[in-house]
Chain A
Amino acid sequence: MISVENLARRFGDRVAVEGLTFEVKPGEVFGLLGPNGAGKTTTVRMLTGLIAPSAGRGAVCGYALGDAALRRKVGLLTEQPGLYDRLTARENLTFYMRLNEVDEQAAWPRTLKYLERFGLGGRTEEPVGAFSKGMRQKLAIVRTLVHEPSVVFLDEPTSGLDPESARTVRDAVAELASEGRTLILCSHNLAEVERLCTRVAVIKNRLRTVASLTELRREGLALEVRVDGDASIWLPALGRLRFQPRANTEGSKLTVLLDTEAQAPEVVTELAAAGARIFSVTRAARPLEEAYIELVREEAA
């Protein structure tokens, strides 16, 4: 569905992003992860035909990047909903139906279904300016679907929303994902990515990795140790280890991040030697956050 090879974009002397190579399969929910300024939006703009790459090549839905016809095949939800406040929801959607030259008679029943599903069914004749942030974002999602795009790009869909609105938007995106659509989710919200995506590309001005979430977590090992009382008092004991693992605590749970399985007995021995009463030791998947932070902190080789 999407394939890019050594894609790069420069603005003058500044490199926004370079060396992007990845593929997205049909029906996949793919995450573009990276910190602010990492080049996620630039990447999305290249993939949606908004700007041309400075180098590299790629294709979306069989259309080369830069081909104007590509824009008929994709839908883009921008970080800001970008709706016309004085126009009603119906007028906003009609405008995009006309820009996409879709048969309005055929498109409206389909669009109304989405509106109903997102709780906007009875609000079509209201000016969008009266909508809450969450409603506006959901309407913007419906707008990206009026021409039935093959790929939908969602650029920071919950950015700036309150937790409740963010949740309703996430639910809406999850519904789209459940329909088998190809979705590209651009975000630095790891919980969102964990919930919705199957594979991710981590970028920070260049590609850091492309992997499934399971693979990302597997790259490291976490040890969950349950102790008697507050686990944080045992953190200094870990400082005496020769390999200095990263660790965090939550109540009586101590999570220690390890590089290899062989380090696990040393952690347990050290804690026991320090006097900790250990109730259980379990191997856990490394939190995605850890893998992500490690990747974006890496300096370019």
Chain B
Amino acid sequence: MSFSWPRARAVFWKDFLDLRKNPGLLASMGALPLMLVFVPAGVVWAYTRQPDDPNLQVIARYYDATVRGEAAMRFLVDKVLVDWFAVFLIMPVFVPILVSSFAIAGEKERRTLEPLLASPVTGLELLVGKSLASLVPALTICVIAFGLLCLTVNLAAGAAVLPTTMWTFGVFVIAPLFAFFGNGVAVVISGRVGDSRLAQQLAGMTVLPLVGLAAGQFGGFLKAGFGYYLVITAFVLVLDVALLIAATKLFDRERLMTKWG
């Protein structure tokens, strides 16, 4: 049977509708972006409140010994925004994990998988429909959070410090690739375990490298920048291709019925 967009769309429609009616999951999806928006805004506000505070120079010199005088405040604001992008990337990875972990393991748990597979829907249509149902909300939240971040950070700084080219490129190019990665990991793992909560926990661990990178940046061990994020993106792109191949193989009807869980 050839690929049918109406069937893939039907899967997307159903999963999206189910998500809209799940207040617990919606609250989980909304909590992380709020933290990712308001924490940097608070830090920027703290830095810009007293730009001539000598402590700012001390902090700035920890990262760059050449920073002098009032440039310290601007240096720190720029640094926190560059470094925070690694933390911000947790969102496009984590939100699809929340949704996609229920993708197949959830269907199996609720005993809805068998009637679903008995319908004419193909494995690829399921994969596409379910991935869209997780990627569309994740990227929508990401863009809305980015808009809010620009607004709150600029208000806190009292100047237009966002969006920068790196952030704009990051949100519209890098974030979708990371979202695809999070979705792929969740789909593959939720296929190998029969419990959606376990799938969520296991897939959730994939954000740990991002947390590690961010910690390295804040600790001054890694120097982040546009090029740095491009290298990470290239790596994630390779992982995305591998996950796509793995997920396509896993979405074989017979495998879903007999091997998963």
A and B from one assembly? Answer: yes
User: Which residues of A does B touch, CB under 8 Å?
Assistant: 11, 45, 48-52, 68-69, 71-72, 74, 76-78, 80-87, 91, 95-96, 98-101, 127, 140, 143-144
A84 lies within 8 A of B111 (CB): no
Q: Chain B residues near A101: list those with CB within 8 A.
A: 4, 6-7, 120
Q: A68-B1, A95-B10 are in contact. Are A50 and B110 (CB under 8 A)?
A: no
- Name the residue in B112, B113, B114 with the highest tally of chain A Cβ atoms < 10 Å from its Cβ: B114
B127 to chain A, nearest CB (A): 15
Q: A76-B114, A101-B4 are in contact. Are A45 and B257 (CB under 8 A)?
A: yes
Question: What are 23 of the A-B contact pairs (CB < 8 Å)?
Answer: A45-B257, A49-B118, A69-B120, A71-B119, A78-B111, A78-B114, A82-B112, A82-B115, A84-B18, A84-B112, A86-B18, A86-B22, A91-B14, A91-B17, A95-B10, A95-B14, A96-B115, A98-B7, A99-B120, A100-B119, A101-B4, A101-B6, A144-B115
B100 to chain A, nearest CB (A): 17
Q: Chain B residues near A11: list those with CB within 8 A.
A: 258
Q: Chain B residues near A86: list those with CB within 8 A.
A: 18, 21-22
**How many angstroms from the CA of A74 to the CA of B115 in the assembled complex?**
11
A143 lies within 8 A of B115 (CB): yes
Is B13 positioned at the interface, with any CB of A under 8 Å from its CB? yes
**How many angstroms from the CA of A144 to the CA of B122 in the assembled complex?**
18
**How many angstroms from the CA of A261 to the CA of B47 in the assembled complex?**
103
A87 lies within 8 A of B120 (CB): no
The 6 closest A-B pairs by CB, nearest first: A98-B10, A80-B111, A68-B1, A86-B21, A76-B118, A99-B119
A100 lies within 8 A of B120 (CB): yes
Pick the residue among B7, B111, B253, B258 that contacts A99 (CB under 8 A).
B7
- Name the residue in A68, A69, A71, A140 with the highest tally of chain B Cβ atoms < 10 Å from its Cβ: A71
**How many angstroms from the CA of A11 to the CA of B254 in the assembled complex?**
12
**How many angstroms from the CA of A186 to the CA of B71 in the assembled complex?**
78
**How many angstroms from the CA of A81 to the CA of B115 in the assembled complex?**
8
User: Which residues of B does A touch, CB under 8 Å?
Assistant: 1, 4, 6-7, 9-11, 13-14, 17-18, 21-22, 110-122, 253-254, 257-258
B239 to chain A, nearest CB (A): 31
Q: Chain B residues near A74: list those with CB within 8 A.
A: 118
**How many angstroms from the CA of A100 to the CA of B9 in the assembled complex?**
12
B260 to chain A, nearest CB (A): 13
Besides the contacts A85-B110, A91-B17, what 15 more A-B pairs have beta carbons closer than 8 Å? A45-B257, A48-B118, A50-B118, A50-B257, A74-B118, A76-B114, A78-B115, A82-B111, A82-B112, A86-B21, A91-B14, A96-B115, A98-B6, A99-B11, A100-B119
Q: Chain A residues near B258: list those with CB within 8 A.
A: 11, 51
Q: Chain A residues near B22: list those with CB within 8 A.
A: 86
B132 to chain A, nearest CB (A): 14
B122 lies within 8 A of A87 (CB): no
Q: Chain A residues near B114: list those with CB within 8 A.
A: 50, 76, 78, 82
A100 to chain B, nearest CB (A): 6
B253 lies within 8 A of A84 (CB): no
Q: Chain B residues near A100: list those with CB within 8 A.
A: 119-120
Pick the residue among B6, B18, B122, B257 that contacts A68 (CB under 8 A).
B122
A260 to chain B, nearest CB (A): 46
A169 to chain B, nearest CB (A): 16
Closest A residue to B114 by CB, please name it: A78
B115 lies within 8 A of A69 (CB): no
**How many angstroms from the CA of A76 to the CA of B18 in the assembled complex?**
23
B128 to chain A, nearest CB (A): 13
**How many angstroms from the CA of A76 to the CA of B112 in the assembled complex?**
12
B257 lies within 8 A of A99 (CB): no
B1 lies within 8 A of A69 (CB): yes
Q: Chain B residues near A83: list those with CB within 8 A.
A: 112
B117 lies within 8 A of A87 (CB): no
**How many angstroms from the CA of A72 to the CA of B122 in the assembled complex?**
12
Q: Chain B residues near A76: list those with CB within 8 A.
A: 114-115, 118
Q: A45-B257, A84-B110 are in contact. Are A140 and B120 (CB under 8 A)?
A: no
